[in-house]
Amino acid sequence: MLVTTKYLNSDLLMAPTKIVCVLRNYLEHAKELNSPVPEKVKFFLKPPSSLLANEGTVIIPDSVGSLHHEVELAVLIGKRGRFIPEDEVKDHVLAYTIMLDMTARDLQSNAKKAGLPWTEAKGYDTFAPFGPRAYPPGEFDWHDKRIWLDVNGERRQEGNTDEMLFSVERIISEVSEVMTIEPGDIFCTGTPPGVGAVRSGDKITAGIDGMEPLTVTVQ
């Protein structure tokens, strides 16, 4: 099991089979990367081996020249499903938490130009810090929440979950048309504007209204 009670509260804990990450779900972030906004939910997978607990250390690999932070609202799945209608997604959501979709931006840019997958750019160990607590739907409503990220105490990213182009319900419903959603799976719902590079020694703190913030250091 990748996740223990030391890092995430309660009994909401299961090892994910996959981490599903939505791309360009905030208009202002798509603009800052000069990327077109998709008409349907577009996504990629991060491996569960990229997970990192709160207060952990994000490692910048030697092969990466520019490691970017992306703060995202994460949704933990509690019940298996396929072809889930939007109005039934709530039956499959176990809890919400914070995740950082750490991205090797230089590798991603090269991959985009070459028409290659983003797996390396998104998939190194420690590239998915998350937590520190999981909030069941009864304790957390994902709408209209401020989402932010600081580096060394300086605000870098800020947005509101209501700015998401695709809702939590639409994301999970559309992805379930492609693949079976399993208990423990994690959905990352895209990042607000302000992404940028981190350096060795930086301290990242990320938060969403109503949640205890997530903190990691960079090495």
DSSP-assigned beta bridge partners for residue 209? none
Structure tokens, 156: 């870098």
Indicate the residue among 13 and 73 with the shorter CB distance to Mg ion: 73
What's the closest the beta carbon of residue 71 comes to Mg ion, in angstroms? Answer: 9
Letter for the amino acid at 66?
Answer: S
What's the closest the beta carbon of residue 72 comes to Mg ion, in angstroms? Answer: 6
What's the closest the beta carbon of residue 115 comes to Mg ion, in angstroms? Answer: 20
Q: How far is CA 52 from the centre of its chain?
A: 12
CA angle 136, 140, 146 (to 5 degrees): 140
Give the whole-angstrom CA distance, residue 43 versus residue 40. Answer: 10
What's the closest the beta carbon of residue 205 comes to Mg ion, in angstroms? Answer: 18
Half-sphere exposure of 107 (CA within 13 A, CB side): 19
CA-closest candidate to residue 197, choices 109, 105, 111: 105
Indicate the residue among 88 and 146 with the shorter CB distance to Mg ion: 146
Indicate the residue among 45 and 84 with the shorter CB distance to Mg ion: 45
The residue whose two tokens read 């490692």 is 59
What's the closest the beta carbon of residue 147 comes to Mg ion, in angstroms? Answer: 12
The residue whose two tokens read 């840019």 is 109
- The binding site for Mg ion (CB under 5 A) comprises 70, 101, 191
What's the closest the beta carbon of residue 77 comes to Mg ion, in angstroms? Answer: 18
Give the whole-angstrom CA distance, residue 34 versus residue 182. Answer: 34
CA angle 187, 189, 194 (to 5 degrees): 140
Indicate the residue among 45 and 93 with the shorter CB distance to Mg ion: 45
Number of C-beta neighbours around residue 175 at 10 A? 18
Give the whole-angstrom CA distance, residue 210 versus residue 212. Answer: 7
Give residue number: closest CB to Mg ion: 101
Indicate the residue among 101 and 150 with the shorter CB distance to Mg ion: 101
Indicate the residue among 24 and 133 with the shorter CB distance to Mg ion: 24
